[in-house]
């Protein structure tokens, strides 16, 4: 099968006239995979996308993470429909918010209190404000290549080493703000130690994706999170886990209780940021943590955070329904098994065709890095063949397999993917890798 997409091309030309760059989020553009028109989708059902030219694609993009039960899951659709019929926005509290808060607390023991917001960006941004309010300190330490949304403080790149301050990663961010951020390499406890020694007295929080989802899927090395938490607390700073991708992605819970970390039960961050899956595909974010830290937040405390749309009944209903589906027995095991089959087959094909490929898989998601070395930090993820990824991406798209258009993004499985989808994808990947080997 080879897809042809004249209508997408036409719509892209039109979109460029009206929407900046033709897209409402830069990661949707095909800039990183050689440019041209992105695919305009018109419908999605289960594991499939249908584009405006009536091509069908198996979806592994999954909207960058929120989609885990397949598109238009009947239980979620019914919940959203019910919410719409009851009025979509009140500006008052609802019982639904308590239901979702209780579900989150039951799955994430470190949450004494939560607050719902509208996106992962807002959730992360607010955890930083709350940590600063609680510690009365200013600086943040983050890890290179971890993405935490687009608020000023976390759009800051590494300085030249662990003892230097950050530089803005985007125009429009004052250097003074970037100077409040220190960036160290992921999986590098020595770098963190040096940064804390240099800046520790003014560090409000260390922010981390405990399992990285933003330069591929990358596990923390054994002892990294334990060391991070111990050092951070020793310095009097708070630990913030950004679980916007990892929350409910690998099991019913977060990386805080992930059984791939045998000794990690004791690690509880002070604050956690959530988003994506907990809204079942509608806009949502949430943050929460220890009672005395969360009580910094207005109306109880001096740290202000608000939102007209926050906790809206449609997003909350969709989130509750999504978690209902994920709570069923066997759901994660099935995604895990399908992802294992797919990831192993892609790696075998690459080896057979002599294409250097590293596959990092964690349960039902994985990343494909065109390189011969392991990928454990951002430098190693950058040092991979972007042109090979672009070629692979396009060869897959032509065969009706939709991946994220970036070498740094993961493949996500859903409860809707079938053995037949996996078989088709394995065949497509084998074709693509064979062509790449030529």
Q: Tell me the C-alpha to C-alpha distance, in Å, between residue 149 and each of 3, 25, 49, 140, 384.
A: 33, 12, 26, 15, 24
231 vs 191: CA distance, rounded Å: 12
79 vs 84: CA distance, rounded Å: 9
Q: What are the φ and ψ backbone dihedral angles of 285, each rounded to 5 degrees?
A: -155, 165
For ligand PMP, the binding residues in 348-377 under the rule CB under 6 A are none
Q: Among residues 182 and 212, whose Cβ is nearest to ligand PMP?
A: 212
* Catalytic option among 12, 64, 134, 147: 147
Tally the C-alpha atoms within 13 A of residue 146's C-alpha that lie toward its C-beta.
Answer: 33
Residue 276 annotated in active site: yes
Size of the site for ligand PMP (CB under 6 A): 15
For ligand PMP, the binding residues in 15-44 under the rule CB under 6 A are none
**Where does this chain touch ligand PMP (CB under 6 A) — which range of 118-126, 191-199, 263-271, 292-300?**
118-126
- H or E element at residue 421: helix 419-437
Q: What mask, x for binding ligand PMP by CB under 6 A, covers residues 244 to 283?
A: xx-----------------------------x--------
382 vs 291: CA distance, rounded Å: 39
84 vs 141: CA distance, rounded Å: 41
Residues contacting 197, CB < 8 A, separation 6+: none
Residue 134 annotated in active site: no
* Catalytic option among 152, 276, 287, 336: 276
Q: Among residues 240 and 388, whose Cβ is nearest to ligand PMP?
A: 240
Minimal distance, residue 193 CB to ligand PMP, in Å: 24
Q: Is residue 399 near ligand PMP by the rule CB under 6 A?
A: no
Minimal distance, residue 191 CB to ligand PMP, in Å: 20
346 vs 357: CA distance, rounded Å: 9
Q: Is residue 119 near ligand PMP by the rule CB under 6 A?
A: yes
Q: What mask, x for binding ligand PMP by CB under 6 A, covers residues 211 to 250?
A: --xx---------------------------x-xx-----
87 vs 77: CA distance, rounded Å: 15
* Catalytic option among 59, 188, 242, 270: 242
- H or E element at residue 108: none
Instruction: Report which residue's Cβ sits closest to ligand PMP.
Output: 120
Q: Is residue 142 near ligand PMP by the rule CB under 6 A?
A: no
DSSP code string of 374-419: ---SHHHHHSS-HHHHHHHHHHHHHTTEE--SSTTPPEE--TT--H
For ligand PMP, the binding residues in 151-180 under the rule CB under 6 A are none
Minimal distance, residue 66 CB to ligand PMP, in Å: 8
Q: Is residue 121 near ligand PMP by the rule CB under 6 A?
A: yes
CB 359 within 8 A of CB 366: yes
Residue 142 annotated in active site: no
Q: Is residue 149 near ligand PMP by the rule CB under 6 A?
A: yes
| N-terminal to C-terminal alpha carbon distance within the chain | 20
Q: Among residues 393 and 412, whose Cβ is nearest to ligand PMP?
A: 412
108: exposed, middle or buried (Cβ count in 10 Å: 0-12, 13-18, 19+)? buried
Q: Among residues 124 and 397, whose Cβ is nearest to ligand PMP?
A: 124
- Residue ranges binding ligand PMP (CB under 6 A): 64, 119-121, 124, 147-149, 209, 213-214, 242, 244-245, 275
Instruction: Give catalytic residues, as residue numbers.
Output: 147, 242, 276
């Amino acid at each position: 099968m080879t897809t042809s997409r004249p209508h997408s091309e036409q719509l892209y030309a039109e979109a460029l006239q009206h929407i900046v760059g033709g897209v409402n989020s830069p990661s949707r553009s095909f800039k990183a995979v050689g440019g041209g028109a992105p695919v305009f989708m018109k419908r999605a059902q289960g594991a499939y996308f249908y584009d405006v030219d009536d091509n069908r694609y198996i979806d592994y993009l999954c909207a960058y993470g929120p989609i885990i039960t397949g598109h238009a899951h009947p239980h979620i659709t019914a919940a959203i429909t019910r919410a719409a019929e009851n009025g979509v926005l009140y500006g008052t509290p609802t019982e639904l918010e308590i239901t979702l808060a209780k579900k989150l607390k039951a799955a994430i023991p470190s949450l004494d209190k939560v607050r719902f917001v509208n996106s992962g960006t807002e959730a992360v941004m607010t955890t930083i404000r709350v940590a600063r309010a609680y510690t009365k300190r200013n600086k943040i330490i983050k890890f290179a290549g971890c993405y935490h949304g687009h608020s000023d403080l976390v759009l800051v790149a590494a300085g030249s080493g662990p003892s230097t301050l950050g530089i803005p990663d985007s125009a429009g961010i004052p250097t003074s703000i970037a100077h409040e951020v220190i960036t160290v390499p992921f999986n590098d406890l020595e770098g963190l130690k040096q940064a804390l020694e240099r800046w520790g007295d003014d560090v409000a929080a260390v922010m981390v994706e405990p399992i990285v989802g933003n330069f591929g899927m990358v596990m923390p090395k054994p002892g990294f999170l334990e060391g991070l938490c111990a050092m951070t607390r020793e310095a009097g700073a708070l630990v913030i886990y950004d679980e916007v991708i990892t929350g409910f992605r690998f099991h019913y819970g977060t990386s805080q209780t992930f059984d791939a970390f045998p000794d990690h039960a004791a690690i509880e961050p002070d604050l956690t940021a959530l988003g994506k899956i907990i809204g079942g595909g509608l806009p949502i974010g949430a943050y929460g943590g220890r009672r005395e830290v969360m009580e910094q937040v207005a109306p109880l405390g001096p740290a202000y955070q608000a939102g007209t749309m926050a906790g809206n009944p449609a997003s909350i209903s969709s989130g509750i329904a999504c978690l209902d589906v994920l709570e069923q027995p066997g759901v994660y095991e099935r995604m895990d098994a399908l992802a294992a089959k797919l990831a192993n087959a892609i790696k075998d094909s690459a080896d057979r065709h002599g294409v250097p490929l590293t596959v990092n898989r964690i349960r039902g998601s994985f990343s494909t890095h065109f390189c011969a070395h392991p990928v454990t930090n951002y430098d190693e993820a950058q040092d991979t063949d972007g042109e090979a990824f672009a070629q692979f991406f396009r060869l897959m798209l032509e065969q009706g397999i939709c991946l994220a258009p970036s070498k740094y993004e993961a493949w996500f499985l859903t409860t809707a993917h079938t053995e037949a989808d996996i078989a088709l994808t394995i065949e497509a990947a084998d074709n693509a890798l064979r062509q790449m080997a030529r």
